[in-house]
Structure 1
Amino acid sequence: MSTNQKSNRATKSGFAHEANEKVQAKYDVEQAQEALRWISDLTGEQFDISGQKDNFYQQLKDGRKLCQLMNVLNPNSISKINPGENSFKLMENISKFTTAAKNYGLSDSETFQTVDLFEQMNLHQVCLCLHALGRKAQKKGLSGLGPREAEKNERNFSAETLNQGNSIIGGQLGFNKAR
């Protein structure tokens, strides 16, 4: 949490504290900076793209930039972006973004929960989501982020080729002595 935001959550201790520290340690400043630069480039909005945790949070916490990004990638995917400072409306922006990202092709494991961003529970997962979204954008011919997503490489073998594999005995099948 930033120093100027009050949390209603109890301080974590014991195992919960250790687990939280482990999650927080995964955050990568360079990945976050790449993600913010990508958002800035696509939306045309200039803002601080420093990947420091507090800046990453400050830039994305209201969900507006995320919704604008989604509308660039998939026009009109988010019809109304909520303005203002009402926490529920801002969390709704984040929720709209994750729903639109799933509709764009991201899986549940590639997205994040609203509290991961809004309450800074797991900014690393937010960053991973943006990178996954960048790979999907590349696949759809848009400016993307990170390595290109692999294409499906399906192979079809003839029945004869498949049957040839049945006659080969695996190297360790039934063999338990040292050579």
Structure 2
Amino acid sequence: MANYRAAKSGLARDSQIKIDNAFNVEEARKCLQWISIMIDEDFPVEDTEDKVTMRDCFYRILKDGLVLCKLINVLLPDDRRIDFSKKSFQPTNMPAFVAARERERIGIFLNKVDEYGVPNSASFQTDYLYERTNLVQVCTCIRALGIEAQSRPDYNGPHVWPKKSEENRRTFTEEQLQAGQQVISLQYGTNKGASQTGMSFGKSRKIID
């Protein structure tokens, strides 16, 4: 579908160039290699440092949503897995149906990612992938999914992502809280050391009879 759109111009073109330039080749390759291991499926990943070539590779592998659905499916518990017998996953010779089903599959992946616990800020819109308008955000989502998966006790895949940050809740006693209220923060200002010693303003007033 992206091939049928008119080329962007003006500010839209400048914005798209900035997004494309932010595409990280190593991050994209890492995402594809992790997916390949997780779904136990080999697909050709370009061994290149060229952003255009890697973007094309990344888009070609993930564009129809099937690989992404396979990925999230191996991470989900049995009672929440995807039903691949649905019409969205059935082959069709109708071009209009092909596009619709590919979009549906991307949507299914995004819904399952949300259920899995990936924050909305790390997710992406269907057009970001299908129309290849923001593949950077697609990488961000896959990375966030990997980090979330690694934090689960039932995860048995490779640990290729940074460890998820853990909550470090602090608890204070009532005595500590009251003691803190007695301290005046320097953000409120201080008059410590203030003095007018030696200060004078103008000459002293003289009274002449």
- Tell me: CA distance 1:79–1:129, structure 2 relative to 1, closer, same or farther (3 Å): same
Equivalent in 75, 79, 82 of residue 83 of structure 2: 79
Consecutive unaligned residues of structure 2, counting only runs of 5 or more, are: 48-53, 93-97, 195-209
Could you tell me how far apart the structure 1 residues matched to 2:129 and 2:81 are? 20
Does structure 1 conserve the Cα–Cα contact (< 8 Å) formed by 2:46 and 2:57? Answer: yes
> Secondary structure in 1 aligned to 2:188?
coil
1:173 maps onto 2:188 in alignment: yes
Consecutive unaligned residues of structure 1, counting only runs of 5 or more, are: none
What pairs up with 1:53-72 in 2 under 5 angstroms?
53-72=55-74
Equivalent in 173, 178, 187 of residue 163 of structure 1: 178
How far off its partner does 1:10 sit? 2.7
How far off its partner does 1:168 sit? 1.0
Equivalent in 120, 125, 139 of residue 132 of structure 2: 120
Over the matched positions of the two proteins, sequence identity in percent amounts to 37
> Secondary structure in 1 aligned to 2:69?
helix
Could you tell me how far apart the structure 2 residues matched to 1:6 and 1:121 are? 9
**Comparing both chains, which one has the higher relative contact order based on Cα–Cα distances under 8 Å and sequence gaps of 6 or more?**
2
How far off its partner does 1:50 sit? 2.8
How far off its partner does 1:22 sit? 1.4
- Tell me: CA distance 1:103–1:145, structure 2 relative to 1, closer, same or farther (3 Å): farther
Partner of 1:28: 24
- Tell me: CA distance 1:97–1:33, structure 2 relative to 1, closer, same or farther (3 Å): same
After superposition, the CA RMSD in angstroms is 2.0
How far off its partner does 1:9 sit? 2.5
Which has the higher Rg, Structure 1 or Structure 2? 2
> Secondary structure in 1 aligned to 2:4?
coil
AA aligned opposite 1:40? S
Could you tell me how far apart the structure 2 residues matched to 1:56 and 1:7 are? 16
Could you tell me how far apart the structure 1 residues matched to 2:120 and 2:136 are? 15
Could you tell me how far apart the structure 1 residues matched to 2:72 and 2:173 are? 44
TM-score of the aligned structures, taking structure 1 as reference length: 0.88
TM-score of the aligned structures, taking structure 2 as reference length: 0.76
Does structure 1 conserve the Cα–Cα contact (< 8 Å) formed by 2:117 and 2:148? Answer: yes
Q: Which runs of 4+ in 1 moved over 6 A?
A: none
Could you tell me how far apart the structure 2 residues matched to 1:134 and 1:50 are? 21
Equivalent in 111, 123, 128 of residue 123 of structure 2: 111
Does structure 1 conserve the Cα–Cα contact (< 8 Å) formed by 2:2 and 2:132? Answer: no
Does structure 1 conserve the Cα–Cα contact (< 8 Å) formed by 2:2 and 2:131? Answer: no
Partner of 1:88: 100
Could you tell me how far apart the structure 1 residues matched to 2:99 and 2:55 are? 20
Could you tell me how far apart the structure 1 residues matched to 2:140 and 2:108 are? 18
How far off its partner does 1:136 sit? 0.7
AA aligned opposite 1:48? P
* Matched residues, number: 173
How far off its partner does 1:175 sit? 4.8
